[in-house]
A and B are shown apart, each in its own frame.
Chain A
């Protein structure tokens, strides 16, 4: 349909955009207005015309002219700008972001829209690239759709894609004509051959990505980074593309939609088993237990974390979760047994499938047999960049040309990746970053391309960077725009002496609302060597016999204002990440370790929570205020303990600290009485040699009374703040909850305990759980209790951040702490949740109005989701770092340690060594010489085999205490150093 254009005024006309949307089978015709204008600038510095037409935005800022007046010369073309099409952006976004090529790039709006519809993450990356690329990359978005000369109407019978391609070509044409006088050409880069042909007919220079890169002076280096899009026919001779090998095709979209609606297909996110990469499980809402997916054919190219659509298999194929441990790295194509799977699955009618689903639910309730399923479609890929290394035996060392190699990824749950490179020899002992391009059904392994190399395997720098990348931690230095948001005084910033000083008031008009608490005897207690001190405390006896207790938290939001680039960066990082030898800050150093840090002897801004507590530590009164404080002393936990214990000290500060300790013990008791859990993790700490910064020894974390002093008051502050912000913002308050664990999580553990120790864990309430954990004691082995605690921690749900509107009040409960409402308020330097809580509290006490973003449910939802993810990643990264260093420690000293069996498999056992906090699989091959004679009793959690050392039959049960030899070995295939355990 052709709409008439209507001219509104000079340079503005309007037309209608019509499209049809189908929903629930019906079709809706949607008509929107579409304004066409003539004041869209080309944004080239060379252009002298467009400067005249620009208009300022709402903040009276004019657009930046970004594109260089003197862009790079391309062989055979000359000075040029690049126009990209959507597929290039989606496939080669890594290449575009890299410094090696692509500068002065024009992205037409229509292309950006398509990118956004197909992959939102890529869209955000593109936007960031445009925003931050002022002087180096020079990317711009050109709004061709709103620009009258470049707007094209859809023709009769033209597909929407063809129309969009035409719009891109039109943009190229316009730019070429527009920039003719300045000698700048425009090159369209697209991999669509038909599009290129049409372009050359219309006089536009068009190249494929390969041709373009080839024409660059440094083209050869870049070619490795090109996405791997080879046609299947092109490499029929490659070593593993066996012609008979084929994955089942995915169902068509309409079949999937129909199946989901009629309830015969299910959608969910797939989790690949940690111990067996050929087994995945998927949690579906109608099933009480996860449905399992076994074998390569059934997994059908799904990656860990993908959103997939599955179909149940007939009940003859249902089975218990596998009791075999299997790593992809040791898994060889030739001797795998999983292709017994019948690809010819019997044909079912929908009705039969529904019956099947019902019996599946029944089966789950009744026995250990679980329904199995197969993947029939992938809704969303979880693909990102992965770190791995080339397997040395997958290529020919002598061949210097381009060849296919396999890359083994660090993540054990993922398959190998095939990529083409000409630099295999050079990269073979390096950690490299790869991106995945596609996984066609006739390829056994996904196709990827090289992104960059991180450095030699086992070098500290490469390993650290690898683990940060693997856990998606942003570790690059803060950008210039972020640093510009910091106070201009830098390290010389000082809190004003006098709060009513007119000069300081002029700078900060909220100063008069601050309370002056510099007379209070405040001190901070932190781990030794802590530089980002975000909390400090004080206590004072009141005339009425009660205690005034104050918790003072660094006032980060005074410096990090909502809506600034600094705030956005903090929000996206979400948390600081603590590695053994390194800290990745959420906020720039200047704030974290100086301006916000509540250092002793200097005035600092703080956000204070002040209670009046009676002698029984009940809250009589609570008050919140932004304040100025002066910490008298910064103690380490040990120093504080010594000071409190030293009876010679009787100054007011020490007395205050004693009072705090006394009150904290009361608080803790009350908390435990209410049913707070005391869980355990096998965490250890690595001591670094101060001179060589080589890891020295490993130590299990220990706790002093002063640790819990600080902890109790932080909990109290968090709870008080949570109540206050929930009262003020019942819909959007930033809170933290911890759901009660479902009973099914504890089933196996309980079964093991029952069988082996005649104990059980009860789950009626957190109180019952805490008590039953206390009862799980083995008089002969004090560690057994800790072991049970560690294992039950793994059965717990993860605590999560949420906004108040997302759940009903009864679901706010924090199970582990046994409180009805909770938030994080006390560490704003290193957690973004606390920053939000600070702003909400400031608004709740009328200090300053709350930013709109923290009052909007959708935005809060996005924030919560991100910080939950970041928090989890930070934890994993921290653990991985400890694991790496423990490996380095063990490298030097091989030792024999006590370990505990925490899982028993068909072909091995998993042993936890408390001293190092490591756990490892001991394979059956390493336990016995005679693998065949070994027997596995699943119901008894017992593995019985002929020991290769003692030459007699040995039974290993779960929870057994065993002596193991611990040494660190370098895996020849993955080049990953890990603890190897051997039974003694």
Chain B
């Protein structure tokens, strides 16, 4: 295997970005108006994700209902063809996928105003069509957009991004090549604040570098929030124009 120059001394990454640059971030909402109450399509680099939100609706089983608040469920479908090499087995019941689902549920339970919707359930379905590193952050961004599209009340945007640490340099928003080469964290930020609603550290990161990693991560997440906000407003204006016709 050829040894790659993950971060060149001239300060450029494998794909030509600098250390603090996000990948291409393109999103649209209300992509599947007939299939779900809220939907979004997100491309973050080569991650391509469809999110569908149904609800708040009556839970399928009475037993699932809670009298005080709505229940959230996430169903993550990572397609077999989403990676470079087609996998033979389905990812559906993989431990990794189950863990991701749990993490997503926990993140959004705290940020959706669940008490407004007692005795209901909110079901989120995510389809990953293609993945290229930093999947967890793209999932969170996709769900945020779809939830907003569904009109479900939230305290603020949840925007997420992954950050790696290469030697001493933090690298923002990693693709899969970079993700394989270094340790990384995924963080999700509430709105414009510096509050983290998720911090996922799966490898070792030296504590003395952690602060710089968090700093660039939060800045990156704010930028993601701006991009999502821009798309939402664009969509809103379009709808407004249609409605007033």
Contact = CB atoms under 8 A, between A and B. Distances in A.
Interface of A: 6, 8, 12, 14, 28, 30-37, 55, 57-59, 63, 116-117, 120, 127, 130-131, 141, 143, 145-146, 563, 849-853, 855
Contacts of A120: 3
Given A33-B175, A116-B3, A849-B208, A130 B19 contact: no
B48 to A, nearest CB: 11
Contacts of A145: 16
B24 A8 contact: yes
A28 B12 contact: no
A43 to B, nearest CB: 9
Given A33-B175, A58-B19, A58-B169, 18 more contacts: A32-B14, A32-B15, A32-B177, A33-B15, A34-B15, A35-B15, A35-B17, A36-B16, A57-B11, A58-B168, A59-B169, A63-B10, A63-B11, A116-B2, A120-B3, A141-B10, A146-B16, A563-B167
29 contacts: A6-B24, A28-B84, A32-B14, A32-B177, A33-B15, A34-B15, A35-B21, A36-B16, A55-B11, A57-B11, A57-B18, A58-B20, A58-B216, A63-B11, A116-B3, A117-B2, A120-B3, A130-B9, A131-B9, A143-B12, A145-B16, A146-B12, A146-B16, A563-B167, A849-B206, A850-B206, A851-B206, A852-B183, A852-B206
A852 B24 contact: no
A30 B84 contact: yes
Contacts of A146: 12, 16
B19 A143 contact: no
Contacts of A55: 11, 18
Contacts of A34: 15-16
Contact of A143 (B10, B20, B165, B168): B10
B8 interface: yes
B207 interface: yes
A855 B204 contact: yes
Contacts of A141: 8-10
A77 B102 CA distance: 68
A36 B84 CA distance: 23
A120 B5 CA distance: 12
A976 to B, nearest CB: 39
A32 B24 contact: no
B46 interface: yes
Given A146-B16, A851-B206, A32 B46 contact: yes
Q: Which of B3, B11, B170, B175 has the most CB of A within 10 A?
A: B11
B169 A57 contact: yes
A614 B210 CA distance: 45
B243 to A, nearest CB: 31
Contacts of A32: 14-15, 46, 132, 175, 177
Nearest to B130: A31
A55 B170 CA distance: 16
B85 interface: yes
A148 to B, nearest CB: 10
Contacts of A63: 10-11
B23 interface: yes
B45 interface: yes
How many of chain B's residues touch chain A, expressed as a range? Answer: 35 or more
Interface string B165-181: 10111100001010000
A852 B165 contact: yes
B45 A33 contact: yes
Contact of A57 (B3, B19, B45): B19
Contacts of A31: 46
A764 B132 CA distance: 54
Contacts of A58: 11, 19-20, 168-170, 212, 216
A32 B132 CA distance: 9
B15 A849 contact: no
A33 B2 contact: no
Majority SS at the chain A contact face: mixed
A855 B2 CA distance: 22
A30 B85 CA distance: 9
A130 B5 CA distance: 15
Q: Which of B18, B21, B23, B46 has the most CB of A within 10 A?
A: B18
A380 to B, nearest CB: 14
B179 to A, nearest CB: 13
A855 B177 CA distance: 20
A37 B21 CA distance: 12
Interface in B1-38: 2-3, 5, 8-12, 14-21, 23-24
A6 B24 CA distance: 9
B24 A33 contact: yes
A836 to B, nearest CB: 16
Interface in B181-207: 183, 204, 206-207
B164 to A, nearest CB: 12
A852 B167 contact: yes
Contacts of B20: 58
A805 B72 CA distance: 42
Contacts of A852: 165, 167, 183, 204, 206, 209
A32 B46 CA distance: 8
A523 B118 CA distance: 78
A394 B10 CA distance: 49
A124 to B, nearest CB: 10
Contacts of B14: 32
B168 A563 contact: yes
A859 to B, nearest CB: 10
B91 to A, nearest CB: 19
Given A14-B24, A31-B46, A852-B206, A127 B9 contact: yes
A947 to B, nearest CB: 61
A59 B5 CA distance: 19
Contacts of A850: 206
A930 B132 CA distance: 78
Interface in B134-187: 165, 167-170, 175, 177, 183
Nearest to B209: A852
Contacts of A849: 206-208
A79 B169 CA distance: 38
Contacts of B175: 32-33
A851 B205 CA distance: 10
A151 to B, nearest CB: 9
A565 to B, nearest CB: 13
Contacts of B208: 849
Nearest to A14: B24
B83 to A, nearest CB: 10
Nearest to B9: A131
Contacts of A853: 167
Nearest to B177: A32
A604 B188 CA distance: 48
Interface in B25-65: 45-46
A748 B12 CA distance: 58
A507 to B, nearest CB: 18
Interface in B210-227: 212, 216
A31 B10 CA distance: 24
Nearest to A140: B10
A680 B46 CA distance: 63
A30 B46 CA distance: 11
Nearest to A852: B206
CB-CB nearest 3 A-B residue pairs: A146-B16, A35-B16, A57-B11
A737 to B, nearest CB: 25
A850 B207 CA distance: 10
Nearest to A855: B204
Nearest to A56: B11
Contacts of A37: 16
B183 to A, nearest CB: 8
B115 to A, nearest CB: 40
Q: Which of B24, B169, B183, B208 has the most CB of A within 10 A?
A: B24
A141 B177 CA distance: 22
A237 to B, nearest CB: 42
Given A55-B18, A131-B9, A145-B16, A33 B204 contact: no
A855 B3 CA distance: 19
Contacts of B169: 57-59
